[in-house]
Amino acid sequence: MIYQKLGETGCKVSRVGLGTWAMGGDFWGSVTEQQAIATVRSALDRGINLVDTAPAYGKGRAERLVGRAIQGRRDEVVLATKIGLVWEGGMRHCLAPETLAGQLEASLMRLQVETVDLLQIHWPDPQTPLEDTLTELERLQRAGKFRYLGVSNFDLPLLQEALSKGSVVSVQNEYSLLCRAPEALMPLCEREGVTLMGYGSLAGGMLTGKYRGMPEERYDRRVKFYPYFKQPHLGRALRTVEALEKAARERGVLPAQMAIAWTLAHQHTVALAGAKTPEQVRSNAKAAELTLSAAEMDGLISFPDE
């Protein structure tokens, strides 16, 4: 595994991280507790030390499973979770300062830890001034509840605002061959020493080559988040998959590994790749050491929609 600094801190994170949304069991089809725990532990065995979760993943289920999986191995983990999505008859954004301590304490209890390494604002809350949120989070940070602060799903102006008002070490946005919007953030991230964590590096599994349309499992709802499984985006996605499969055959690797390696070719970038089995996480880990040529990089650039 290859590691890099988290922002400008002394903390080193694996360039491939484990995303745990699938372990929530509410969006990605079924996954047993045994599978989820084995997957987290397999990631640690492979040198993946960045484990990213959130209260919103299965209404806390993913956090609970991660907490169980890392028992006895806490010192091997850079543990990242999020704040700002609450379930009250439905999921809503809430970064009101008076709610943050309670949200974070609930996560710490589910994770069975006293502090998390990276706490991230999950989504912006347009009803709450960002400065108010950051002020309260700084208080919680000083109290030892978390080590570093990150943001997620922030556009360029909001990231600039966050950096002007607080110490932010990372930004986590969707980034893959099918979603390149975060490239607009890269110059700022490089100047300010902010790590870009790209989630969805496999575009919800589309870039593995496994799918040619909608997932068949009854309880798989990833299509509600990722648009690539149906038109008008499916055609572009499938052309990208075909290019990945061709390039992967030529290199003797898997399409998923090529897709992850493509995101890692960009400086200051970490790829968060979800997994539901130890086999998947072992495959994803290998992508960290795969270097693509300029020609391969260019050949995999997303095709335009028809």
Please tell me the predicted confidence (pLDDT) of residue 212.
65
> Which residue in the list 57, 148, 175, 228 is annotated as catalytic?
57
Instruction: Take residue 187 and report the two structure tokens written for it.
Output: 């110059």
Which of 285, 283, 278 is closest to 35 using CA atoms? 278
Please tell me the predicted confidence (pLDDT) of residue 225.
72
Report angle CA 137, 81, 165 to the nearest 5 degrees.
Answer: 30
Kindly provide the b/e burial profile for residues 197-226, where b requires at least 16 CB atoms within 10 angstroms of the residue's own CB: bbbbbbbbbbbbbebeeebeeeebebbeeb
Please tell me the predicted confidence (pLDDT) of residue 216.
58
For residue 232, say if its preceding peptide bond is cis, omega within 30 degrees of 0: yes
Q: SS3 for 222?
A: helix
199 in active site? no
Of the CA atoms within 13 Å of residue 247, those in its CB half-sphere come to: 28
Q: Model-level pTM?
A: 0.90
Phi, psi at 171, each rounded to 5°: -135, 130
Conformational region of residue 193, where left means phi above 0, alpha means psi within -120 to 50, and beta covers everything else: left
- List all residues 6 or more positions away from 46 whose beta carbon is below 8 Å from its beta carbon: 1, 281, 282, 285
Give the domains, in start order, of the chain with CATH numbers.
Answer: 3-299 (3.20.20.100)
pLDDT by residue for the chain (306 residues), tens digit each? 999 999 999 999 999 999 998 888 777 667 899 999 999 999 999 999 999 999 999 889 999 999 999 999 999 999 999 999 888 777 789 999 999 999 999 999 999 999 999 999 999 999 999 999 999 999 999 999 999 999 999 999 999 999 998 899 999 999 999 999 999 999 999 999 999 999 999 988 889 877 665 665 655 666 777 788 778 878 888 889 898 999 999 999 999 999 999 999 887 899 999 888 999 999 999 999 899 888 888 888 766 554
Please tell me the predicted confidence (pLDDT) of residue 220.
62
Phi, psi at 92, each rounded to 5°: -140, 155
Separation of alpha carbons 108 and 66, rounded Å: 11
Please tell me the predicted confidence (pLDDT) of residue 26.
77
